[in-house]
Amino acid sequence: MFVYILKRVLAAIPVMGFVALFVFLLLRLTPGDPAAIIAGDTATPAQLEAIRDQLGLNDPLFVQFFSWISQMFQGDFGTSILSGKPVLELIADRMEPTISLALTTIILSVIIAVPLGVIAAWKQGTLIDRFVMLLSVLGFSVPVFVIGYLMISLFSMQLGWFPVQGFKAIGDGIGPFFHRIALPTFTLTLLYIALIARITRTSMLEILGDDYIRTARAKGLPESRVLMRHALRNCSVPIITVIGIGFALIISGVVVTESVFNLPGLGRLTVDAVLSRDYPVIQAVILLASLIYVVINLLIDIAYVLLDPRIRYA
């Protein structure tokens, strides 16, 4: 196991290097000039040129790239062009809303979706099964921003149960924290319930017809034990995979939800950085998202072995 983990960590290094190079070239070769955004519409060509020199944008691309990489190895991800603050400080300030939304969403989704998928497979062809499948179709079909605005219209504007927007840190109290994070969480949860429940149902259906399930039932074991201990555990690999990938997707793809509910997270930071051509911030956020994908995929592979002893790695 240790050798396998070491190989995966070493394999992640060139992947991250390729991502860094791709992001760097993509930003530099697309239209747009950060100097023009900083200087404003009334800037003269001489002022624009001075700003570009100050930011190092007139240096050759390979000089800019290796300068950025060398700074990263020293723990310096640069300074935001727009705000003048260190990039790591900006990311640290925006991490809590995004991580909070991701954790509450994935926890609530798993708690609801896995039992729904198990029950749907157990009651295949019944009204319960059809309801779960209908929920899955709706969850995939309706855009997230539409669900968000419907949530705001019903629970905020009409019923007045939740605030329309904003975020409270968990340090300000559990009650205010959940009161603010509830609607964004419910919005994303509908999508991930659909995804996880569908995968769980499909995986369970493949297992429920196996001989060892029939043997367990023939021994007189309670149905709940057959479903949860024998069937669910043996089909957990694809479920764990989709949960892990879902968590990574939430962290790196909450732009729409954070914009709808005005959450000061990484999604909003990314949007602001893209609009202002803030190269250091964009590069750091994308690299962070890529690193999260790599780490979560590694954790998923480790979970395979823990959940299914038949799986072994060299």
Do 69 and 137 belong to one domain?
no
267-279 confidence digits (pLDDT tens)? 778 888 877 777 7
Query: Residues 54, 112: one domain?
Result: no
Task: Find the mean pLDDT for residues 2-6.
Answer: 70
Cα(32)–Cα(260) distance, integer angstroms? 26
pLDDT for 306 beyond 60: yes
Q: Is 63 helix (H, G, I), strand (E, B) or coil?
A: helix
pLDDT value of residue 99: 85
**Gap between the Cα atoms of 223 and 226, Å rounded:** 5
214 domain-assigned? yes
Of 151, 98, 102, 88, the C-alpha closest to 264 is 98
Q: Which DSSP state fits 81?
A: T
Is 131 found in the same domain as 39? no
- Supply the mean pLDDT for the chain: 79
Q: pLDDT tens across 175-224, in order?
A: 888 888 888 888 888 888 888 888 888 888 877 777 777 777 787 778 77
Same domain, 50 and 117: no
Q: Give the domain CATH number at 242.
A: 1.10.3720.10
Judge if 253 and 173 occupy the same domain.
Answer: yes
Query: Are 69 and 101 in the same domain?
Result: no
User: What residue numbers bound the domain in which 199 lies?
Assistant: 94-307
In this structure, the answer to whether residues 137 and 43 fall within a common structural domain is no
Check pLDDT > 80 for residue 113: yes
Q: Which stretch of 22-36, 126-140, 228-242 has the lowest confidence by average pLDDT?
A: 22-36
Rounded to whole angstroms, how far apart are CA atoms 217 and 230? 10
Q: What is the band of 37 on the pLDDT scale with cuts at 50, 70, 90?
A: low
Q: For residue range 44-103, list pLDDT tens digits in order.
A: 777 777 777 776 777 777 777 887 788 777 777 777 877 778 888 888 888 888 888 888
Q: Which of 77, 79, 92, 82 is nearest to 264 (CA)?
A: 92
Place of tokens 């860094």: 20
Are 69 and 98 part of one and the same domain? no
Query: Is 3 within the bounds of a domain?
Result: no
Q: Do 182 and 255 fall into the same domain?
A: yes
Q: Of 35 and 267, which is predicted with more confidence?
A: 267
The string of pLDDT tens digits covering residues 233-258 is: 777 778 888 888 777 777 766 777 88
Q: What is the pLDDT averaged over residues 291-309?
A: 74
pLDDT for 311: 60
Both tokens assigned to 222 = 């309670």
On the question of pLDDT at 313 being above 60, the answer is no
If one counts the domains in the chain, the total is 2
